[in-house]
Chain A
Amino acid sequence: MKKPPVVTRAVERGLSPFRGRRAAHLLPQARLGGPMPWVIAIMVALVVLAAGGGLALGNLADRARGELAGSATVQIVEADPALRAQQAQAAAAILSQDSAVASLSVVPQETVAQLLEPWLGTDDPEQTVPIPALIDVRLRDGADAATLDRLRRLLVDHAPSARIDTQAQWLAPVLSALSALGWMALGLIALLAFTGAAAVWLAARNALGANRETIEIVHLLGGNDDQIARIFQRSIFADALVGGVLGLVVGSMAVWLMGAQFAALDSGLVSGGGLETSDWLVLALVPVGAVVLAVYTARLTVLASLRKML
């Protein structure tokens, strides 16, 4: 009888890496496949939409805050037009002398009337309701409460009908709502990430169950947990990559279309919520995050399962 062939130095006793195509070949059914790329694509598309919306809202709020920071409006609420004009002139003169005021402009009454036209009609509004005089004020160091109090005290003698408010105060509820929407987008992203991880966890467990016999054989032949986990990681990596790219394309197109729709509204506030180049780069990172999350989840799932074996 012939002697059995000797595999001499070729056989390493150490734990060499067992990965790549030949490792994947070991478990052809380990491909998490099936619906997994589609599930990941949907998750990524939704995250891109949520992130795109959140970033756009953030930009909108930032722009509004930037524009309104340091802005204040002085209203002269006086029924007598002559007295109103007199107080407006006096207030403008006092404020222009103050070091806290960078610039100011008295809004012409015609402009105020035009602004009110949609509500009060084209007839002379003065005949209907008294229209306050408005002074736009830009402050040097922001419109803080102490400065505003000081300006109020300055005006009280010469323009007793003057009311001074920051423009940010008017928009505070809007900015608060935008901030809430931004947090909601973040929460949605966290939920989607959790759901995606749960889907990968289920798929990895199913794949493990379907290949339990083969895994046990590899385990008993000396395969270690890391080698077996790598096989599944490779599989989920391919699925997550395909799904991630698909989801990014669909999600980005949806974000772009939504942006174009809002831009078409030609509203100063809404059109300020466009995405910057850096925002698009953040969106491009979503599939990378999805791949990392999926691979890491699959690895943890497989390792946890393998640890139950001796």
Chain B
Amino acid sequence: MSGAESEVVQFDNVGLRYGTDREVLSNVSFTLYPGRFYFLTGASGAGKTSLLKLLYLAQRPSRGAIRLFGTDVITLPRERLPAYRRRMGVVFQDFRLVDHLSAFDNIALPLRVSGVREADLQGPVSDMLDWVGLANRADARPATLSGGEQQRVAIARAVIGRPDMLVADEPTGNVDPEMALKLIRLFEALNRLGTTVVVATHDVHLLRKVPDSLIMRLDKGALSDPTGALRYPPRRVGAGE
């Protein structure tokens, strides 16, 4: 297998600026490998969300190259991008649930977009609701769910299609520590099934909860590599320098 095929994500000298402002990301280069659990840390405003937007193809960089699943997505025609988005599950910082759809329909959305027949999605969606502990809230609209429940619906929606990569932006930002740990355990379970997980968080305590995780740190738009996550083979947390 070539290097390009084995890499899930490759950023090469990526820069991002909004309009004519200064760059929010500068010379960001890193590689993510399949089946790993990555944390992206940094203070608020460090550029975590901007980096994730590039990752889940909501934004084009101002410069540099990005490869996803071995393909240069910068030069890829935009009509081919949806196929790559379907390989990813995204937990947005603000959940971005569809207000007028029930929890069930929100979770089923990626499957419906992918063309799964109604008969085929009933079971998996119900199982997923059960898995995130919301089996009894299947018909509830997002507005009637608590913050934690909305977050679990968002996570269920992100993982229902068994994505190759899960990207989560501050997924524990609005929940208590107990729920935060529970959510991280959900991600770990998914990671054990082979999904590459990228979690952006500014909660440093969370990093120690996943022993095998790799850490990337953003500081004012520049990326540092405290655990050797960006090198290959990457070093593990606790493995020492």
A222 touches B98 (CB 8 A): no
A310 touches B116 (CB 8 A): no
A15 touches B131 (CB 8 A): no
Nearest CB in chain A: distance from B117 CB, A:
8
Nearest CB in chain B: distance from A100 CB, A:
69
Chain B interface main SS type: helix
Which of B29-37, B77-85, B172-180, B226-234 lies at the interface with chain A?
B77-85
Which residues on B sit within 8 Å (CB–CB) of A296? none
Count B interface residues, CB 8 Å.
46
Which of A22-30, A123-131, A160-168, A241-249 lies at the interface with chain B?
A22-30
Known contacts A2-B131, A10-B116, A222 near B189 by CB under 8 Å: no
Residue A151 at the chain B interface, CB threshold 8 Å: no
B109 touches A221 (CB 8 A): yes
Find A224's partner among B59, B82, B90, B110 (CB 8 Å cutoff). Answer: B82
Which residues on B sit within 8 Å (CB–CB) of A4? 128, 131, 159, 162, 186, 189-190, 193
A22, closest chain B residue (CB): B112
Known contacts A222-B110, A222-B114, A310-B78, A6 near B162 by CB under 8 Å: yes
Residue A1 at the chain B interface, CB threshold 8 Å: yes
Please provide the chain A residues from 11 to 42 with a CB less than 8 Å away from any CB of chain B in the complex.
11-18, 22-23, 25-26, 28-29
Which residues on A sit within 8 Å (CB–CB) of B162? 4, 6-8, 11
Residue A220 at the chain B interface, CB threshold 8 Å: yes
Residue A225 at the chain B interface, CB threshold 8 Å: yes
Nearest CB in chain B: distance from A115 CB, A:
75
Residue A214 at the chain B interface, CB threshold 8 Å: yes
Known contacts A13-B83, A223-B113, A5 near B96 by CB under 8 Å: no
A310 touches B86 (CB 8 A): no
B56 touches A29 (CB 8 A): no
Which residues on B sit within 8 Å (CB–CB) of A227? 113
Known contacts A13-B86, A15-B82, A5 near B115 by CB under 8 Å: no
Residue A281 at the chain B interface, CB threshold 8 Å: no
Which residues on A sit within 8 Å (CB–CB) of B128? 4-5
Which residues on A sit within 8 Å (CB–CB) of B209? none
A310 touches B131 (CB 8 A): no
Residue A213 at the chain B interface, CB threshold 8 Å: yes
Known contacts A2-B131, A213-B96, A221-B85, A13 near B59 by CB under 8 Å: no
Which residues on A sit within 8 Å (CB–CB) of B120? 10
Chain A interface main SS type: loop
Known contacts A4-B193, A5-B131, A217-B96, A22 near B79 by CB under 8 Å: no
Nearest CB in chain A: distance from B195 CB, A:
9
Which residues on A sit within 8 Å (CB–CB) of B79? 224-225
Closest 3 CB pairs of A and B: A16-B115, A222-B86, A5-B127
30 contacts between A and B (CB under 8 A): A2-B189, A5-B124, A6-B124, A7-B111, A7-B116, A7-B160, A10-B111, A10-B121, A10-B124, A12-B115, A13-B83, A13-B87, A14-B83, A16-B114, A18-B112, A18-B114, A18-B115, A26-B101, A26-B109, A29-B100, A213-B98, A217-B98, A218-B113, A219-B82, A220-B85, A221-B86, A222-B110, A222-B114, A225-B79, A310-B81
Q: A11-B114, A13-B83, A222-B86 are in contact. List 6 more A-B contacts (CB 8 A).
A: A4-B159, A5-B123, A5-B124, A5-B127, A7-B111, A28-B100
